Structure 1
Amino acid sequence: MATASFGLLLGIIGDQTVFLPSLTSGSTASARLALFVPVIVTAALMFCIESRLYSPEVSGTRRTTSLDAALTITVVIICATIGYAVGQPAAGRNVLFLTGLMLTARVIIGKAAVMAPIAWLLTVLFVGFRTANDPYPWTVVPEPADAPYAAAAALIMFTAGLSCLLRTARNAA
């Protein structure tokens, strides 16, 4: 359902932009509305990963962390495909980056990591722009789809998040 909502919203929003205040540029920053769409996917993914029945998962023979990783990879691939299909390939990269960020933050703050993508987006919007349409390279998310450093950063962040998902124990409750 989240991936369908992702595709539907990307198709509806298209390249619409909004002007938001920026603390570093001293004016407003132009942000594409599509920057916020990956939050739907990351929140749904976190809900799926954190939903559990502790006793059956601990006593079972299936490795639930492997299934969680497979689900995560599948969702990211579907979102990247949808992004390319609707003409917004940067949206797939942003899902990759924000999912990795969320999974990495999950090691430290647990379920509250669902807010990490939102916190990143707000940080980018408020302090991530040199001028109205010129984001800093560290921001990753508002960069154009053909920026190789943004793709590399997204891939590194997703790899880190996936390894955190596979290497850390799931907490009871």
Structure 2
Amino acid sequence: MFLPVPLVAVTAFALDSRVPEFETTSVRPVPRFDATLVLTTLIVVLSFAMAADSSVLICVARNTAFLIGLLLLARPAAGQAAVMTSVGWIAIVVFFSRRPWPDPDPWTILPEPSGALHAAGASLGVLALGILTHLRFSREDR
């Protein structure tokens, strides 16, 4: 459950490493480049999981997509502190999930098995909303 946290933190660092003066006057679509970076990172993680044929790595890829989506959703409001949303969600799951591992609460997403379709759908939905939020609230708005 904690494996995606370093990747989410590195992704947040990459998204926050910028020179605002150049990006606000740039003719290049920097938010789209950022979204491409996020999607490429997730494709690489998923490729490793599929190549290894490991259900644990598939869960890590799904959880990474979910947590990066949460990060992107929180960035317009929280800025650099949005990186803590992944740790916060994990803490909520650890402290408030009442069912044991073989059958975790459906809302928790992270401890679900690799074949849980609702977890995959929620992860893709949160990631899509996060990317749309990132594209809508570009760097000029912050």
Q: Percent identity?
A: 36
Deviation string for 1:22-51 (max 9, x for gaps)? Answer: xxxxxxxxxxxxx11111111111111111
Structure with bigger gyration radius: 1
Runs of 4+, deviation exceeding 2 Å:
83-86, 131-134
| Partners of 2:32 and 2:140 in 1: CA distance | 16
Partner of 2:135: 166
Aligned residue in 2 for 1:75? 41
Of residues 84, 98, 102 in structure 1, which corresponds to 2:50? 84
For residues 1-173 of structure 1, the aligned pairs below 5 Å read 35-86=1-52, 87=54, 88-131=57-100, 133-170=102-139
Q: How many residues align?
A: 139
Of structures 1 and 2, the one with the larger relative CO (CA 8 A, separation 6+) is 2
Amino acid at match of 1:134: D
What amino acid maps onto 1:160 in structure 2?
L
Q: Deviations over 1:32-77 (max 9, x none)?
A: xxx1111111111111111110111111211100100100000011
- SS of the equivalent of 1:99 reads helix
Unmatched runs of 5 consecutive residues or more in structure 1? 1-34
Q: Please identify which structure carries the higher strand content.
A: 1
After superposing the two structures, state which structure 1 stretch, 163-172 or 139-148, moved more: 163-172
Encode CA deviations 1:73-113: one digit per residue, 9 max, x unaligned. Answer: 00011111122333121111011101101110112211100
Alpha-carbon distance between aligned partners in 2 of 1:107 and 1:60, rounded to the nearest angstrom: 20
Query: Which amino acid in 1 is paired with 2:5?
Result: V
Give the structure with the higher percent helix: 2
